[in-house]
Structure 1
Amino acid sequence: MRIIGIDPGTRIAGYGVVDLSEQKNLKAIAAGAWKLDAQKELPPRLATLAIEFRRVVETYKPSHICLELSFLADNPRTALFLGHARGVILSEAHQLGLVISEISATSAKKIISGNGRAEKSAIAKIMSSMLGFNFVNLPYDATDALAIACADAMRNRNSSFANSSVTLESNSSSNENILIDWQKKRKKGRIHLSNFASLLKAK
C-alpha cells in the first residue's frame, strides 16, 4: 500500500510518500514541499498546487491519501485560504481515484510521538529515526506530511512497526531511487537541494 500525506497550504504545501508492506514495514519513497508564489493572486496559486499534486501522484502512484484537517486559525482569512487549498487537493484526489482519509495535526502527532503538541523539530527527528534517513535539509512541511502518511498507516491499517527500518532496493525504479540518491549525494557534499521535489525536477 502506498500512501501520500499532505500538509496543505497556499504558500507552502508539503507532501510525503510512504509504502506500507504486507509485513507491516514502512519505506520512505519521496518527500518535499511545493513553494507557491505568494506574490500571485489565490487562483493561480491554487492552479499550481493542483498541477504539482497531480504530477507527484502520477509519478509515485499512491493508492491512498491522508490530508491534514483544517485547524481553527486566529485569522479567518488564513482559515479560508487553507480551506481552498484543501478543496483543490480533495478534488484532485477524488478525480485520480485515491482512497481519501483525513487526520488532525494533533492526532497525527499523538500517534507518531505520543504528544499531540510535539514541536515540528521533534516530529522531523522521529521521522528520521522511523524511516532511516536524515531529513535535516527537508522543510518541516515535508516531514509533517510524512508524519501524516505514517500516522494514517498506523491508525487505519492495524500496523505493527517493530521493524520499521527502510530498505530501498537497488532494482527500484529511478523515481523511487530519488530518496537514496539524494541522501548519498548529501553525505558527499555534492548537493544542496532543500527537498526531493527539487531533485525530481533536476532529474
Structure 2
Amino acid sequence: MRVLGVDPGLTRCGLGVVEGSPGRPLTLVAVDVVRTSADADLGERLLSIEQRVDEWLRSHAPDTLAVERVFSQHNVRTVMGTAQASGVAALVAARRGVPVVTHTPSEVKAAVSGNGTADKAQVAAMVTRLLRLDARPKPADASDALALAICQVWRGAADQRLRAAAAAGGRPR
C-alpha cells in the first residue's frame, strides 16, 4: 500500500509518501513541505497547495491520501487555515479518484509511538526509526505528514480486512 500523508497548513503543508504493509518494513518514497508566504493572497496560497498536492498524486500514484482531521484549537485563525488546506488536499485527491481518509492527531500519535499523547519529538523519533532514516525529517510538518502516512498504512490495512469480512457476511476475528 502506498499512502500520501498530508499535514495541512497554509504556511507549511507537509507531504510524505510511505509504502508498506503491516508487519513489513516501511519505505520512505518522498517527503517535502509546501511553503507559502503569510503575506500572499489566500487564493494564491491555496492554489500553490493544490498544485503541489496534484503533482504529488500524479507522480507518486498513492493508493490513499491520509490527511489530519481538523480539530478545534484556541486559535481560530490557525484552525481555519488548517481546514482550508485540508479541504484543498481532499478535493484534489477526490478529483483524481484517490480515496481520502482522516486521522486525528491522537490516532496518529498512538499508531506511530504507542502513546496518543506523545509530543512532536517522540513522533519524529519514531518516524525516523520506523523508516530507518539517518536523521529526523524537518521541519515537523514533514515528520507529521510521514506519521499520517504510516498510520494509514497500518490502520488502513486493518480497516480493509474488516470491510471485506463484513461484505462477505462474516465477522472479523
TM-score tier, shorter chain, comes to 0.7 to 0.9
Listed as ranges, the gaps of 5+ residues in structure 2 are 160-173
Report the equivalent of 1:156. Answer: 156
1:21 and 1:153 map into 2 onto residues whose CA distance is 6
CA contact (8 A) 1:109 1:123 kept: yes
Alignment of 1:56-135 (within 5 A): 56-135=56-135
TM-score (norm 1): 0.73
2:150 and 2:22 map into 1 onto residues whose CA distance is 15
Alignment of 1:1-203 (within 5 A): 1-21=1-21, 24-136=24-136, 138-158=138-158
SS at match of 1:15: strand
Structure 1 pair 151–22 and aligned structure 2 pair: CA distance change class (3 A): closer
User: 1:137, CA displacement in angstroms?
Assistant: 5.3
SS at match of 2:44: helix
SS at match of 2:117: coil
CA contact (8 A) 2:8 2:68 kept: yes
User: 1:117, CA displacement in angstroms?
Assistant: 1.7
Range moving further from structure 2, 110-119 or 9-18:
110-119
SS at match of 2:136: coil
Structure 1 pair 39–91 and aligned structure 2 pair: CA distance change class (3 A): same
SS at match of 2:158: coil
CA contact (8 A) 2:136 2:143 kept: no
Q: Deviations over 1:71-116 (max 9, x none)?
A: 2111222222221111111110100111111100111001111211
SS at match of 1:136: coil
Structure 1 pair 148–84 and aligned structure 2 pair: CA distance change class (3 A): same
Give the aligned length. Answer: 159
1:94 and 1:28 map into 2 onto residues whose CA distance is 24
Structure 1 pair 49–34 and aligned structure 2 pair: CA distance change class (3 A): same
AA at the equivalent of 1:36: T
1:93 and 1:130 map into 2 onto residues whose CA distance is 26
Report the equivalent of 2:171. Answer: none
| Runs of 4+ off more than 3 Å | 21-25
CA contact (8 A) 1:111 1:151 kept: yes
User: 1:60, CA displacement in angstroms?
Assistant: 1.1
2:22 and 2:13 map into 1 onto residues whose CA distance is 30
RMSD: 1.7
TM-score (norm 2): 0.86
2:23 and 2:115 map into 1 onto residues whose CA distance is 27
AA at the equivalent of 1:140: A
